[in-house]
Structure 1
Amino acid sequence: MSETQTQIENRPPSVASLFAERVAATPDGEAYRYPVPPSSGSGPDEWKSLSWGRAADRVYAIAAGLIELGVAPEDRVALASATRVEWILADLGVMCAGGATTTVYPSTNAEESAYILSDSDSRVLIAEDAAQLAKAREKRAELPALKHVVVIDTEGVGTDAGDPEGFVIGLADLEARGAAYLEKHPEAVKERIAAITADQLATLIYTSGTTGRPKGVRLPHDNWSYMAKAIAATGLVTEDDVQYLWLPLAHVFGKVLTSGQIEVGHVTAVDGRVDKIIENLPVVQPTYMAAVPRIFEKVYNGVAAKARAGGGAKYKIFQWAAGVAREYAKVTQDNFRRTGKASAPFGLSTKHKVADALVYSKLREAFGGRLRAAVSGSAALAPDIGYFFAGAGIHILEGYGLTESSAASFVNPGEAYRTGTVGKPVPGTEVRIADDGEILLRGPGIMEGYHGLPEKTAEVLEPDGWFHTGDIGELSADGYLRITDRKKDLIKTSGGKYIAPAEVEGQFKAVCPFVSNILVHGADRNFCTALIALDEPAILGWAADNGLGGKSYAEVVAAPQTEKLIEGYVARLNEGLQRWQTIKKFRLLPRDLDVEHGELTPSLKLKRPVVEKEYKHLIEDMYAGSREA
């Protein structure tokens, strides 16, 4: 047994215990940074800090406040808020009170929010603002278990005649009540933390799912304690790191990052406003951050569009530099694999230095200039985009996990990372590939089961602990995993050929700098087609230089010039595909896909059935006149 495994087996029962240990070890160390908008309403945000000791004061006050409200061990407390420092403090407060956090995306509509609150039997809701409170008020009659709503930002929160007494409480008021409670019962929170057992429910995360009602994934305290220790054991992060955390904390990927940080003790800068990422990076200057592939795709498209706007010469330089980056990354990664040294031939190294001065250095500065590594998860990153960033000195370590496995089951190991794979299992996690190619996982990160759905649990969780992920993958001889597709998403053409749509879609994203989303269709058809949504800033920038300036997105997408442009990229994609994989026809969508219309999950995964249903007329039109039509 390795030292790492022993360390993980000796973990404490909960992250609440880990938090108490962290506070005792480094009370004056910086824990969190968070932005405060200027009082004048204009100008840059002011970033403030919270030490571990001060964070603990607030966390324990929230915990005591919840205890005073009657929250008992394993009682559910729902949390509906965007990513902000109060989300983390509230989540820790719930755990330190022995309760279980039910996460709700702030973008979730009133009906689905009510379903989650009802199904989880949540007694308290911690809501970000008046808009989140309004959803609970609208559906209050359907939520008899909900006794209180704690509002983080009380601006605009009015009274409602239908509110029971004490129904709405400000977070500041809850903390004040908790502090007063602790004066009378100073050991209350410590006693709750000490009483937590490893198998006690800590978090209930509802999978947004690509079909049907969301299922509540039951994750006990031991899942997070294990994840915290396993992340530390990878050696990928150190106490000197600065993490920029903007991912939705309602998602398991964002949530696991908070557990790892507590164990390692580094600084986390928290701001979930996606429109502030570009502005925040040079201010925060993170050494590492996590993101979903769509963010890297948008950065790549943005850089390409900026180069194109600079004129033909600049764009040619960018294209040349992008090619050099990919070649350099492939060669150095291959050499590292064979020799343990990331080296490149003299000629390629020389070209890389020139390209670095012209292009890559500016890109690194845009990320704050100190980014050592970025972790990508939640969906597949197109390898060519991964190689581009790797060659530019922005090392994207792809990882893999699911809500049901507490997010971080695999991650690429530092310098030895391999683009196009999700790396190796984190310490303590087992993997095997089933006969049909499905990835099976076992270990302390696997869920207890689906809330109130024993039949659904039995479908994916074997009695001996093996979890069926639903993903198809391949393991290399030395343990690197490559995900090829979702088991249920594999396409079988009428000719009997199997196609992994995500693989084709990823290749197109690397080829075409204008694409935002693409769906490849072809199940039971005799050829493949695609629905393509374009990136609005990128295509409008192109339109302005090609006689379509001033036109709306829908008008630009409908223009013959645009179709011809994308047709060229589809042809380039097809050159690298097997004949049965090629895209024979495509249609451009009148708008981009989004979360609001239900076409993407909150973690920006494509909901294939929703998109195929909504644009069925376009799909049928592409097959009209073919032999199968």
Structure 2
Amino acid sequence: MQVACLSDLLLHAPQQWAERELLGSRGRHGWEWLGHAETVRRVLRVARWMHSVGIRHGDRVGILGHNSPQWCIADFAILHIGAVTVPAYFTDPPEAVRFVFEDAGCKLILVEPGEQQSKLDASKVPVFCLRGEEGITLHKISSNAMFDIPCDLPAVGRGDLATLIYTSGTTGEPKGVMLTHGNMLSDVAAGLGGIPVYESDTFLSFLPVSHAFERTVGHFLPVACGAGIAYAEDVTTLLRDIPEVRPTVMISVPRLYEKIYAGVQDKLMHAPRIKQKLFASAQQLGLKRFESRLEGDDLHGMDAFRFRILDHLVHARIRAKMGGRLRLFVSGGAALHPDIARFLLAAGLPVCPGYGLSETSPVLTVNPERRIKPETVGPALPGVQLRLADDGELLARGEMVMQGYWHRPEETSAVLEADGWLHTGDIAEMDSEGYVRIVDRKKELLVLSNGEKVPPARVEKRLAIDPVILQVMVIGDQRPYLTALVVADEGGLGRHWQKEKGRELPSDWRQNKAVKGWLLERMHAACDVLPSYMQVRNFVFVDSEWTQASGMLTPTLKFKRRSIMQRHQADIDAVYAAGEKA
């Protein structure tokens, strides 16, 4: 990809894309789209305005708001003048937002009006709204022809700092990851070599674009190939937005796929046996077809005939709920359970699990569309070097690796070696074809008091597939055995209990010994292939779901383990105390 900086992806695009729909959002009368040429005009106007108010090469500019065309326009404008985009998460509380912008030393902040704007009431730097009716807003500036007059702007190169992406802080204070134009352009180029996207595609963007995963794969990548991007209003509006937008590509963390799977399983539980058998047969043949195609073959004879009928009766309905045009899911941010991947693949919804981290711009590996191994996160993308350290930690090297952490040289040197190898912090395995399987986070590895090492994600992934469990976190570091904190899906719990026991769920189910014993048996069954020391011996139901708003999840829905443990420390102590008395 021969472009000098990220804004060139948009500004130097082929002329034939000029009238193509690029950015879509819900308006008063349905979905409204900005064409490619109009988006370019708006980006240049905003860039010239920012230059006119004193923003210069290397200055940091903050953005706070939900995904939107204005967010995209602001980002490209900032990058075009050589300034540095500093995104903050709209899910973060005011103190976390202030920390990011103050730590980065932002000279200007662009913010969504309303709740997000109120987080910056005490800001000491100029704040302008992305849109709105009052005052100077980015939307008004981008529509004002007075900013069509060109101005002298400095050249921006691949070595210039493009963005500071603050890590979500699962284990401590957030750090600003320094990524240059070259870092991110190399990952976009690698992504185009590993993820099959085309100018005819439509992306539906709903993960926070402030996160590196969405920023690269759902923001820069579609712009680079001329695809359209529709912005969901919120993750809560997805079920409404998907059939309206009818996307062809969606980028998501595993939680979306888990909900799709759980929804189907829940409906099956109440379906007649004939429908359950039809679904099982459709899945079996769908998976057989997928595996045959991996080998360059297909179904034949009676299998092909049965597949067409069952696919029409079963899987076509699932695809219709996803808009009917979806041809690719890209999964990242956390491990996707192989059973869920196989369910989607059998249903004709190709899902390509991948892996990366903010420090690598972020994507390092992804499963090729026609060579998917569901239990892995795929092989290295073009230009990425991977190797395993003696302790199993995955190391990465390539142009996409960060420059370091903003104003944190000691923390930088702790993860980035002089010869360019980055310590990812993940324990991994690689097969003979270079496909990577992530075992767990190195820092999150639980060491039981008997010395046995437990990767919690390996256990949690098996437990979380149970439709009665909404969230589960395993505990056990320096303890004699594993326990767990469980957020139950009360509706699913009640339905499964009634089906198996023939009576309603007791009102005191959180403390009820029979209910807890029944669920513990299900948990043991889910982990029966794991060593005995990886079996959960006891658990406690917690009262409420862990969310981003409560500070328990990162923007990509990973557990903030330290925060969760602090909140439930009394429950943890009590469940171990009960075990000692038993």
What's the TM-score once normalised by structure 1's chain length? 0.86
Structure 1: runs of 5 or more not aligned: 1-7, 39-45, 158-167
SS at match of 2:279: helix
**Aligned mates of 1:323, 1:437 — CA distance in 2:** 40
Residue number in structure 2 paired with 1:620 = 573
Shift of 1:475: 1.1
Shift of 1:321: 2.6
Alignment of 1:566-585 (within 5 A): 566-585=519-538
Residue number in structure 2 paired with 1:172 = 139
Residue number among 468, 471, 475 corresponding to 1:514 in the alignment: 468
SS at match of 1:569: helix
Task: Say if 1:378 and 1:326 are closer, same or farther in 2 by CA, change over 3 A.
Answer: farther
Shift of 1:537: 5.5
Checking the alignment, whether the CA contact within 8 Å between 2:286 and 2:348 is kept in structure 1 is: no
**Aligned mates of 2:440, 2:51 — CA distance in 1:** 45
Residue number in structure 1 paired with 2:487 = 533
Residue number among 217, 221, 224 corresponding to 2:181 in the alignment: 221
SS at match of 2:363: coil
Residue number in structure 1 paired with 2:191 = 231
1:365 aligns with 2:320: yes
1:340 aligns with 2:296: yes
Residue number in structure 1 paired with 2:172 = 212
Checking the alignment, whether the CA contact within 8 Å between 1:68 and 1:181 is kept in structure 2 is: no
Residue number in structure 1 paired with 2:401 = 446
Task: Say if 1:200 and 1:573 are closer, same or farther in 2 by CA, change over 3 A.
Answer: same
1:606 aligns with 2:559: yes
**Aligned mates of 2:384, 2:259 — CA distance in 1:** 33
1:389 aligns with 2:373: no
Checking the alignment, whether the CA contact within 8 Å between 1:102 and 1:205 is kept in structure 2 is: yes
Residue number among 62, 77, 80 corresponding to 1:78 in the alignment: 62
Task: Say if 1:620 and 1:538 are closer, same or farther in 2 by CA, change over 3 A.
Answer: same
Alignment of 1:38-117 (within 5 A): 38=29, 46-117=30-101
**Aligned mates of 1:497, 1:550 — CA distance in 2:** 37
Alignment of 1:109-148 (within 5 A): 109-137=93-121, 139-140=122-123, 143=124, 146=125, 148=126
**Aligned mates of 1:442, 1:132 — CA distance in 2:** 37
Residue number in structure 1 paired with 2:272 = 313
- 228-237 or 372-381: bigger deviation: 228-237
Residue number in structure 2 paired with 1:41 = none
**Aligned mates of 1:323, 1:581 — CA distance in 2:** 33
Residue number in structure 2 paired with 1:259 = 220
Checking the alignment, whether the CA contact within 8 Å between 2:184 and 2:361 is kept in structure 1 is: yes
Checking the alignment, whether the CA contact within 8 Å between 2:55 and 2:107 is kept in structure 1 is: yes
Residue number in structure 2 paired with 1:325 = 283
**Aligned mates of 1:207, 1:374 — CA distance in 2:** 24
SS at match of 2:13: helix
Checking the alignment, whether the CA contact within 8 Å between 2:60 and 2:106 is kept in structure 1 is: yes
- How many residues get paired? 579
Residue number in structure 2 paired with 1:150 = 128
**Aligned mates of 2:350, 2:251 — CA distance in 1:** 11
**Aligned mates of 2:206, 2:451 — CA distance in 1:** 43
Residue number among 590, 596, 614 corresponding to 2:549 in the alignment: 596
1:299 aligns with 2:260: yes
Residue number in structure 2 paired with 1:22 = 13
1:73-97 deviation per Cα after TM superposition (whole angstroms, max 9, x unaligned): 1111100001112111111111112
Task: Say if 1:626 and 1:378 are closer, same or farther in 2 by CA, change over 3 A.
Answer: same
**Aligned mates of 2:533, 2:234 — CA distance in 1:** 42
Alignment of 1:473-492 (within 5 A): 473-492=428-447
1:252-296 deviation per Cα after TM superposition (whole angstroms, max 9, x unaligned): 111002111122111121224111111111111111111110111
Amino acid paired to 2:13? R
1:419 aligns with 2:374: yes
Task: Say if 1:114 and 1:420 are closer, same or farther in 2 by CA, change over 3 A.
Answer: same
**Aligned mates of 1:540, 1:33 — CA distance in 2:** 41
**Aligned mates of 2:300, 2:462 — CA distance in 1:** 27
Amino acid paired to 2:420? G
Shift of 1:326: 6.3
1:83-129 deviation per Cα after TM superposition (whole angstroms, max 9, x unaligned): 11211111111111221110101121111111111110001110011
- 19-28 or 454-463: bigger deviation: 19-28
Q: Percent of aligned positions with the same letter in both sequences?
A: 30
RMSD, matched Cα: 2.7
SS at match of 1:169: coil
Checking the alignment, whether the CA contact within 8 Å between 1:491 and 1:501 is kept in structure 2 is: yes
Residue number in structure 1 paired with 2:251 = 290
Checking the alignment, whether the CA contact within 8 Å between 1:301 and 1:538 is kept in structure 2 is: no
**Aligned mates of 2:460, 2:75 — CA distance in 1:** 37
Amino acid paired to 1:469? T
Task: Say if 1:565 and 1:117 are closer, same or farther in 2 by CA, change over 3 A.
Answer: same
**Aligned mates of 1:129, 1:423 — CA distance in 2:** 41
SS at match of 1:229: helix
**Aligned mates of 1:356, 1:261 — CA distance in 2:** 30
Shift of 1:474: 0.9
Which is richer in helix? 1
Task: Say if 1:423 and 1:170 are closer, same or farther in 2 by CA, change over 3 A.
Answer: same
SS at match of 2:370: helix
Shift of 1:563: 3.4
Residue number among 246, 271, 294 corresponding to 2:206 in the alignment: 246
**Aligned mates of 1:219, 1:440 — CA distance in 2:** 18
Checking the alignment, whether the CA contact within 8 Å between 1:23 and 1:56 is kept in structure 2 is: no
Shift of 1:359: 2.8
Shift of 1:299: 1.5
1:205-264 deviation per Cα after TM superposition (whole angstroms, max 9, x unaligned): 111121221100111111222222222222511111111111110111110021111221
1:121-152 deviation per Cα after TM superposition (whole angstroms, max 9, x unaligned): 00111001122222211x33xx4xx2x21112
Amino acid paired to 1:495? N
What's the TM-score once normalised by structure 2's chain length? 0.93
Residue number among 12, 25, 28 corresponding to 1:34 in the alignment: 25
**Aligned mates of 1:236, 1:537 — CA distance in 2:** 39
Checking the alignment, whether the CA contact within 8 Å between 1:399 and 1:411 is kept in structure 2 is: yes
Task: Say if 1:589 and 1:351 are closer, same or farther in 2 by CA, change over 3 A.
Answer: farther
Residue number in structure 2 paired with 1:465 = 420
